[in-house]
């Protein structure tokens, strides 16, 4: 860095000296700015990143109807058959109907905020169930419905990281309510596309319980804009080789009437 | 003596009520008419057919006081059943059509008669029922239903005190096929509130049989983030009314807390029934449930003892005077048994432990029902295993215990049911 002569004297400096001092100051400032860009560039808005990622997984939409094909694999899985489920979801509610396998066809699971019920053909009335009664394999009911992490979690920016060649923002999500499916999530959101690439699901103590990765081969149109949409989510158990792969298809974005989430209409 | 309206007057009353419901629909129809017309209608259909084959073997208490020698209740020693359950669903946008039918055939072997000269008897039964058959329109938060619908509600497992039509929850009978009731109902939803107004035309298909035709009901629900509260009133002309309520709370992922209450002078002289319950779900999805039920219309110990004493005296007479025969005993005992309430006792504790009901391969459930008043109990174990995608096997074991002067020790000792379910399509 050139030394800047800032000495003050009582006598006025010549004009050429003033011009040179100004140029030197500008050069110093330019070097300082280029040498330390992070010091002045704003950290990405973590909550905005989560909202963007949510939209590609059904969040923030007026409603969503889709089919989910669940496949369970792993040495600890006792030959669980594939399941095919039709789901209607809004921000706070979801209704899932099992289409396959035949022995549970027609079973329905209703979730309204933190309340959940299920019914099966032959059951006299819907039964209140717990979110702990996991849907299938590693998948919870929250994994097949629309994702609203922005509503259920506080997001904190951690760092940048590249996953499989994709630059990502890494966020830490902490549940703000007991309604959230998971206590804490480490969330990788692609920097360019704004979609979630990977997630680690942690307990309150920070122990990793499951992890997930996502594909976005589907497309939906929102307000005339085509955006990528989740087509596959694979959840892996942290301790065993058990995995559940969910493939999403027949995706329709539309408002779902509230009457669909009335427990009296589960028949 | 109650005065019942004449048939034409009754039809006029029913027509007026239908008119009221139609008016409610019309008031809503204008709001329903502005659905967007540019979206193609969604059409979905589904059908499923299950067939069940199962057999039961029942052991009776040989020294039963209420059913000596099985001459009164004639409980089959062995049963063979075949059932077919067909379910059809169709959806056209906001309109649903639901049809559930059940065809059932049963052969009973009544076991040896107390008179050795009488050969073992068999009986055949068969029936075809429309379990449900209704049309439903859903628009925004509103619903309109017409037809035969299984109108059940409430979080209780052992019984449903808050429901005027379905007191027996049926969840304690895993093979039950509960029929619907014939009704018109309209539900309006506003925010977390729902109000349902309905008219029930017939309840004749329900077993145990109840007769509540021409019943109007109003039900109001409040659905919160973690709770559901409901209050209902059911009225019939010239008959006592019914008030029921339930509440359930989900404080966290593991716990569910709930209660139900029903108050009416039907069927007992002074009938109110309370149920309180709680369930806890483990991380593996298994659930423990405990319920306590107070049945104010149940028999007090002295009343139960009086029935048993009368039955015992009748049996002694029949034994002493063999010429009296079964018909005499039947004539003495049947009116006595007909007066017993739907639940004999006044206080029950029900305990349940079940596997994750979401499991597609293996589910099981075990329950213990205890009549606190007389100390008798009934245990039930149910298990269902999927063998191949379209076939499941199941078993039900019931074991009763208690003295012959108690509810669960009075007649049936145990029952074993084994069966197969075929999921045709």
Report which of B99, B105, B98 is spatially closest to residue B84, judged by C-alpha positions. B105
Place of tokens 């007389």: B374
3 state SS for chain A: CCCCCCCCCCCCCCHHHHHHHHHHHHHHHHHHHHHCCCCCCCCCCHHHHHHHHHHCCCCCCCCEEEEEEEEEECCCCCCCCCEEEEEEECCCEEEEEEEECHHHCCCEEEEECCEEEEECCCCCCCEECCCCCCCECCECHHHHCCCCHHHHEEEEEEEEEEECCEEEEEEEEEECCCCCCCCEEEEEEECCCCCEEEEEEECCCCCEEEEEEEECCEEEEECCEEEEECCEEEEEECCCCCEEEEEEEEEEECCCCHHHHCHHHCC
C-alpha to C-alpha distance for B298 and B58, rounded to whole angstroms: 26
Q: Tell me what pLDDT residue B397 has.
A: 97
Q: Encode burial over B13-32: b for 16+ CB neighbours within 10 A, e otherwise.
A: eeeebeeebeeebeebeeee
What the block records as the tokens of A113 is 């905020």
Residues 194-253 of A with CB under 8 A from B: none
**Per residue in A50-63, is it b (16+ CB within 10 Å) or e — as a string?**
bbbbbbbbbbbbeb
Q: First CA to last CA across chain A, in angstroms? A: 78
Which of A122, A133, A178 is opposite residue B357, by nearest beta carbon? A133
For an interface test with B, which of A65, A72, A97, A102 has the most B Cβ atoms less than 10 Å from its Cβ? A102
SS3 content of chain B, % helix, strand, coil (to 5): 15, 50, 35
Q: Which residue of B has its CA nearest to A131?
A: B253
Q: What is the pLDDT of residues B309-323, one digit of tens each?
A: 887 787 777 777 666
Nearest Cα residue to A55 out of A220, A265, A246, A239: A220
Record: contact A128-B223, CB cut-off 8 A = no
Contact A189, A169 (CB under 8 A): yes
CA–CA min distance A115, chain B (Å) = 5
Tens-place pLDDT, residues A136-180: 777 777 777 778 888 889 999 999 999 989 999 999 999 887 767
Which comes out higher in pLDDT, residue B55 or B284? B55
pLDDT of residue B313: 81
Digit-coded pLDDT (tens) for A55-106:
898 888 889 999 999 998 887 665 678 899 999 999 889 999 999 999 999 9
A106 touches chain B (CB under 8 A): yes
User: What would the two tokens of residue B11 be?
Assistant: 């039809």
C-alpha B133: how far from chain center: 18
d(CA A78, nearest CA chain B) in Å: 9
Which ipTM value was assigned to this complex? Answer: 0.85
Residue A2's pLDDT band, with cuts at 50, 70 and 90, is very low
A11-15, B132-136, B148-152, B262-266, range with the lowest pLDDT: A11-15
* Contact status, residue B409 vs residue B400, Cβ threshold 8 Å: yes
Contacts of A93 (CB under 8 A, 6+ apart): A110, A111, A112, A113, A258, A261
Cα–Cα distance measured from residue B234 to residue B241, given in angstroms and rounded to the nearest whole number: 6
Nearest CA-CA partner of B67 in B412, B420, B423: B412
Q: How far is A127 from chain B (nearest CA, A)?
A: 7
Instruction: Name the residue in chain B with its Cα closest to that of A253.
Output: B39
Which tens digit of pLDDT belongs to each residue from B202-243? Answer: 886 666 556 677 899 999 999 998 999 999 999 988 888 899
Take residue B68 and report the two structure tokens written for it: 């000596």
The percent of residues above 70 in pLDDT, for chain B, comes to: 79
DSSP category for residue B312: H
Given this model, what pLDDT does residue B4 score?
A: 43
Indicate the SS3 state at residue B207.
coil
Write the pLDDT tens digit of every residue in A176-195: 877 677 889 999 999 999 99
Q: Using CA atoms, how far apart are residues B66 and B74, in angstroms rounded to an integer?
A: 11
Q: Look up residue B411 and give its DSSP letter.
A: S
Q: Give the closest residue to B195 by CA, choosing from B141, B259, B261, B264.
A: B141
3-state secondary structure B245-298: EEEEECCCCCEEEEEEEEEECCCCCCEEEEEEEEEEECCCCCEEEEEEEEECCC
Q: Would you call B150 and A79 a contact, using CB atoms and an 8 Å cutoff?
A: no
Radius of gyration of chain B (CA): 24
* DSSP secondary structure letter of residue B353: E
What pLDDT score was predicted for residue B29?
A: 43
**In B, which residues are within 8 Å of A143 by CB distance?**
none
CB contact under 8 A, B171 and A125: yes
Distance CA A25, CA A23 (A): 5
Q: What is the pTM (predicted TM-score) of this model?
A: 0.83
pLDDT in tens, B234-280: 998 888 889 999 999 998 888 999 999 999 865 554 478 999 999 99
**How far does B250 lie from chain A, in Å, by closest CA?**
7
Of B153, B356, B358, Cβ closest to residue A264: B153
Chain B residue nearest residue A127, CA to CA: B155
């Amino acid at each position: 860095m050139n030394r800047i002569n800032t000495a003050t004297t009582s006598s006025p400096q010549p004009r050429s000296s003033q011009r040179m001092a100004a140029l030197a100051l500008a050069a110093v400032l330019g070097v300082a700015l280029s040498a330390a860009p992070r010091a002045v560039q704003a950290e990405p808005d973590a909550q905005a990143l989560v909202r963007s990622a949510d939209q590609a997984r059904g969040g923030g939409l007026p409603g969503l109807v889709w089919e989910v094909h669940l496949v369970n694999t792993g040495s600890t899985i006792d030959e669980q058959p594939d399941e095919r489920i039709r789901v209607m979801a809004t921000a706070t509610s979801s209704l899932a109907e099992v289409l396959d396998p035949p022995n549970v066809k027609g079973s329905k699971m209703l979730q309204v905020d933190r309340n959940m019920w299920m019914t099966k053909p032959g059951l006299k009335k819907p039964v209140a169930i717990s979110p702990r009664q996991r849907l299938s394999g590693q998948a919870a009911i929250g994994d097949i419905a629309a994702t609203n992490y922005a509503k259920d979690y506080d997001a904190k920016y951690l760092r940048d990281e590249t996953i499989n060649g994709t630059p990502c923002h890494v966020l830490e999500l902490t549940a703000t309510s007991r309604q959230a499916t998971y206590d804490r999530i480490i969330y990788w959101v692609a920097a360019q596309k704004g979609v979630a690439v990977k997630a680690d699901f942690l307990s309150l103590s920070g122990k990793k319980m499951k992890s997930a990765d996502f594909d976005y081969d589907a497309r939906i149109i929102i307000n005339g804009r085509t955006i990528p949409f989740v087509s596959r989510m694979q959840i892996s158990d942290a301790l065993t080789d058990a995995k559940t792969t969910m493939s999403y298809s027949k995706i329709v974005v539309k408002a779902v009437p509230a009457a669909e989430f009335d427990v009296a209409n589960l028949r | 003596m109650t005065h019942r309206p004449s048939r034409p007057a009754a039809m006029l009353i029913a027509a007026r009520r239908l008119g009221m419901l139609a008016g409610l629909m019309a008031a809503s129809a204008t709001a329903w008419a502005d659905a967007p017309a540019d979206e193609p209608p969604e059409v979905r259909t589904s059908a499923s057919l299950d067939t069940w084959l199962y057999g039961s073997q029942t052991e009776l208490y040989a020294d039963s006081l209420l059913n000596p020698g099985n001459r009164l209740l004639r409980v089959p020693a062995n049963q063979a059943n075949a059932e077919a359950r067909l379910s059809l669903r169709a959806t056209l946008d906001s309109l649903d059509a639901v049809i559930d039918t059940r065809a059932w055939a049963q052969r009973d072997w009544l076991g040896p008669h107390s008179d050795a000269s009488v050969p073992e008897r068999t009986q055949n039964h068969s029936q075809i029922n429309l379990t449900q058959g209704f049309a439903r329109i859903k628009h925004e938060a509103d619903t309109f239903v017409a037809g035969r619908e299984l109108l059940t509600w409430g979080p209780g497992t052992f019984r449903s005190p808050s429901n005027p039509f379905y007191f027996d929850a049926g969840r304690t009978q895993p093979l039950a096929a509960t029929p619907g009731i014939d009704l018109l109902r309209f539900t309006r939803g506003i925010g977390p509130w729902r109000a349902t107004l309905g008219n029930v035309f017939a309840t004749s298909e329900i077993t145990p049989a109840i007769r509540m035709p021409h019943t109007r009901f109003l039900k109001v629900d409040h659905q919160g983030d973690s709770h559901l509260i409901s209050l209902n009133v059911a009225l019939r002309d010239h008959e006592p009314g019914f008030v029921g309520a339930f509440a359930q709370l989900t404080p966290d992922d593991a716990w569910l807390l709930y209660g139900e209450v029903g108050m009416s002078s039907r069927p007992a002289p002074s009938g109110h029934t309370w149920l309180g319950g709680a369930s806890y779900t483990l991380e593996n999805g298994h659930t423990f449930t405990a319920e306590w039920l107070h049945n104010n219309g149940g028999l007090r110990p002295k009343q139960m003892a009086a029935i048993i004493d009368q039955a015992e005296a009748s049996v002694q007479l029949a034994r002493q005077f063999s010429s009296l025969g079964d018909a005499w005993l039947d004539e003495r005992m049947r009116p006595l048994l007909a007066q017993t309430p739907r639940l004999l006792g006044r206080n029950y504790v029900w305990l349940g432990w079940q596997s994750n009901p979401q499991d597609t391969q293996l589910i099981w459930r075990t329950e213990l029902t205890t009549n606190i008043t007389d100390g008798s109990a009934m245990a039930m174990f149910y298990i269902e295993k999927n063998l191949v995608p379209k076939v499941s096997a199941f078993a039900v074991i019931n074991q009763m215990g208690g003295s012959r002067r108690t509810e669960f020790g009075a007649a049936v000792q145990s029952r074993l049911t084994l069966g197969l379910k075929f999921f045709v399509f």
